[in-house]
Amino acid sequence: MTDHPFHLRDKRILVTGASSGIGRAIAIECARAGATVIASARDVQRLADTMAAMGEGEHISMCADLADAGQMAALVARAGAIDGVVHAAGIQGLTPMRMMRQSFLDQVIGTNFMAPAMLTQKLLAAKSLRNGASIVFLSSIAAHTGTVGVGAYSSSKGAIEGLMRVLALETAPRAMRVNALAPGLIDTPLVNGDRAFLEEKGKAYPLGLGQPEDVAYAAIYLLCDASRKVSGISLHLDGGIPWT
């Protein structure tokens, strides 16, 4: 029987931010889809929990702070040759522009844009990404819509989408693909401390709030061979929410 293309068997996938939320779900679901996963995050215990949930396989965990150039270089060396990377590490942040401090902006841009940009650069420079590899960035519908108080976050995601489109062209000669996932509000530990907030915001989503697994399944599509002609896009997972 011919294999269906919606699987990740024989692929090695690096997932950052794998200790919680969307990153954790992506690591677990990639493992379930047959991939060997290199799971990276800063929290040792939560990363160990993710590894346990991934089950059997030659999976690798590595605790790394991507704000540290040395730790990033060590992660690239440990990962070895890979067939895909999902940049799921990120932070949010809420502050109106008139109250924004440069230190806050630096932190958000550094985590959400600079870290995935430079990790990708190092992976490409080290030739760690095999021909035909898939690079997936985590963006947000905040990159496309205006929401009061999230200027830094929206800017970081808009920047990552701009980078994604350039990389899609630069890596095409090696049959590599570069895409972004742009979820709406997802029920993760970053936001689920305020259930009243989630329930109120959830009313605006015709298909309801997203779950981490929803993003994970979309990531698997962009990583697998079924999407081998898909590159340079931002795939919106917004639950049908009207933008205007």
Q: Residue 212 and residue 20: Cα distance in Å, rounded?
A: 9
Q: For residue 229, indicate whether it is catalytic.
A: no
User: Per the residue annotation, which of 153, 154, 227, 231 is the catalytic one?
Assistant: 153
Q: What's the one-letter identity of residue 206?
A: P
Hey, what are 21's tokens?
């939320």
Q: Is 140 a catalytic residue?
A: yes
Residue of 19, 40, 139, 140 with catalytic role: 140
**Active-site residue, from 11, 134, 139, 157:** 157
Instruction: State the DSSP string of the chain.
Output: -PPPSS--TT-EEEEESTTSHHHHHHHHHHHHTT-EEEEEES-HHHHHHHHHHH-SSS-EEEE--TTSHHHHHHHHHHH-SEEEEEE---------GGG--HHHHHHHHIIIIIHHHHHHHHHHHTT-EEEEEEEEEE--GGGTS--TT-HHHHHHHHHHHHHHHHHHHHHGGGT-EEEEEEE--B-STTTTT-HHHHHHHHTT-TT--B-HHHHHHHHHHHHSGGGTT--S-EEEE-TT----
157 is known as an active-site residue: yes
Q: Which are the catalytic amino acids?
A: 140, 153, 157
